[in-house]
Amino acid sequence: MIRTPQFWHQPPGVLAYGLWPLGWLYGAATAWRQSQASQAHHARCPVICVGNINAGGTGKTPVVIALAEHLTARGRKVVALSRGYGGTVAAPTLVIPKTHGAGEVGDEPLLIAAFCPVVVARKRAEGLALALAQNPDVILMDDGFQDPSVHKDFSIVVVNAALGFGNGFCVPAGPLREPLAKGLARADLCLSIGEAAAQRRFEALGPDHAHLRVEGQIKPLLTGMPWQGLPVFAFAGIAHPKKFFATLRDLGANVLGCEALSDHEPLSLPLMKRLAAKARSLNAQLVCTEKDAARLPAQYQRDVLALPVRLEIQDWSKIDEKLINLGL
């Protein structure tokens, strides 16, 4: 995945306005796809979509995991449905963590599979049948807010509070997959993820969607690992690598070096050998994100330390209200 251009998150300038006509066409194409929603496949159980209006990563996977845990705690059987971005399988496939690798089913489905069964399929409508074969009480759809092929009973739009909706233009002039007003009009909730200061800025600058909004924060999962003073060389192939590096510093790790990779970048043997050599030269522990760890070659899985994170939502009331309405 290509890293998002910086101008997407700056006030619109010559480049953004120059690309605006293409962005208008992109948004119009999305609107046309949504017009096909009458042909959507309906599941026999509620379908909850965790998607976004922005292109690129906004933190959807931690949201899916948090919802899977929350629904499981309510006594519901959850099955997740994903396109398996980065994987090679096209036919509907039930993810088996000890059998499948990230190269086959994608790194995010492997993470989610630790919390609930996951079906990956290039076409979500085809994957729906296999997901329903697992006899779920609810299906969590990872991404697919703009995909009209599956009917959604509850749609959550996830946004990075620090970045918001960027310059408000559609791809390639900006970060949006569709015009913001139209996207929010279809959403049931907008989950903004970020620290308190970022949340307040997003609240002040964002559109009028207070009635939709729920706040969350992604925090490291403290497993007893003594991070304080630990010399590390960190790498991350996620949407916002700098956030991961800052988290390590906040935990007290001595970050001697770091390398930002592209989101979902394959961790080839030559790349890992180079990163491991850098860590050795600094006498540092090689550290990555939990998502990167899912893509590690087998020979590096014992040598690289992963930092897991989880989404924290203090107030579940708006989400729970919708779940109750759906019989969940």
Residue 81, domain CATH: 3.40.50
Residues 238 and 97 in one domain: no
The mean of the pLDDT values for the chain is: 93
- Report the 10 Å Cβ neighbour count for 1: 15
Write down the pLDDT at residue 277: 97
Asked whether the predicted pLDDT for residue 134 surpasses 60, the reply is yes
In a domain, 10, yes or no: no
Range of the domain at 71: 15-218+312-325
Does residue 207 sit within a domain? Answer: yes
Share of the chain above pLDDT 90, in %: 87
Quick one: 80 and 149 in the same domain? yes
Token readout for 205 is 């600058």
- How many beta carbons lie within 10 A of that of residue 292, not counting itself? 25
Query: Is 55 one of the annotated binding-site residues?
Result: yes
The reply to whether 185 falls in a domain is yes
The verdict on 102 and 182 lying in the same domain is yes
CB-based contact 214:323 (threshold 8 Å) = no
- Predicted local confidence at residue 180, as pLDDT: 93
Q: Is residue 279 part of a domain?
A: yes
What is the average pLDDT across 56-85?
95
At residue 1, does pLDDT exceed 70? Answer: no
Distances, alpha carbon 223 to alpha carbons 227, 281, 308, in Å = 10, 28, 9
DSSP one-letter code for 170: B
234-248 pLDDT, tens digit each: 999 998 899 999 999
Q: What is the pLDDT of residue 207?
A: 62
| Residue 206 pLDDT class (50, 70, 90 cuts) | low
Domain-embedded: residue 6:
no
Residues 154-178: b if buried by 16+ CB within 10 A, e if exposed: bbbbbbbbbbbbbbbbbbbbbbbbb
What integer pLDDT is reported at residue 178 of this predicted model? 96
- Evaluate whether residue 9 is within a structural domain: no
Give the model's pLDDT for residue 253: 97
Question: Residue 4's pLDDT band (boundaries 50, 70, 90)?
Answer: confident
Is residue 204 over pLDDT 90? no
What's the average model confidence in pLDDT over 301-325?
96
**Is 56 assigned to a binding site?**
yes
Burial (0-12, 13-18, 19+ Cβ within 10 Å), 126? middle
Looking at the structure, tell me whether residues 49 and 166 fall in a common domain: yes
Same domain, 136 and 189: yes
Q: Is residue 213 a part of any domain in this protein?
A: yes
Is 247 assigned to a binding site? Answer: no
- Tell whether 39 is covered by a domain: yes
First to last CA, the chain: 36
When comparing pLDDT for 46 and 4, which is higher? 46
User: pLDDT at position 212, please?
Assistant: 84
Residues 48 and 172 in one domain: yes
Please compute the mean of the pLDDT values over residues 157-168 and round it to a whole number. 94
| pLDDT score recorded for residue 210 | 65
pLDDT at residue 319 in the model: 97
pLDDT band, very low/low/confident/very high, at 2 (cuts 50, 70, 90): low
User: Which pTM value belongs to this model?
Assistant: 0.94
**Which pLDDT score is estimated for 208?**
64
Q: How many domains does the chain have?
A: 2
Do residues 28 and 136 share a domain? yes
Between 106 and 209, the more confident residue is 106
Give the pLDDT score at 109. 96
Same domain, 270 and 290: yes
pLDDT single digits (tens) 251-281: 999 999 999 999 889 999 999 999 999 999 9
Which pLDDT score is estimated for 209? 66
Q: Is 57 annotated as a binding residue?
A: yes
**Residue 58 marked in a binding site:** yes
93 is in an annotated binding site: no
Do 23 and 170 belong to one domain? yes
Residue 96 has pLDDT above 70, yes or no: yes
* Residue 72 annotated as part of some ligand binding site: no
Together in a domain, 38 and 134: yes
* DSSP-derived 3-state class of residue 267: coil
Residues 57 and 107 in one domain: yes
Do the annotations mark residue 224 as ligand-binding?
no
Angle formed at CA 160 by CA 157 and CA 164, multiple of 5 degrees: 90
5-57 per-position pLDDT tens digit: 999 999 999 999 999 999 999 999 998 988 877 789 999 999 999 999 999 88
212 and 240 in a single domain? The answer is no
**Alpha helix positions (H), the chain:** 14-34, 60-73, 102-105, 107-112, 124-132, 180-186, 196-205, 241-250, 269-281, 290-293, 317-325
CB 55 within 8 A of CB 307: no
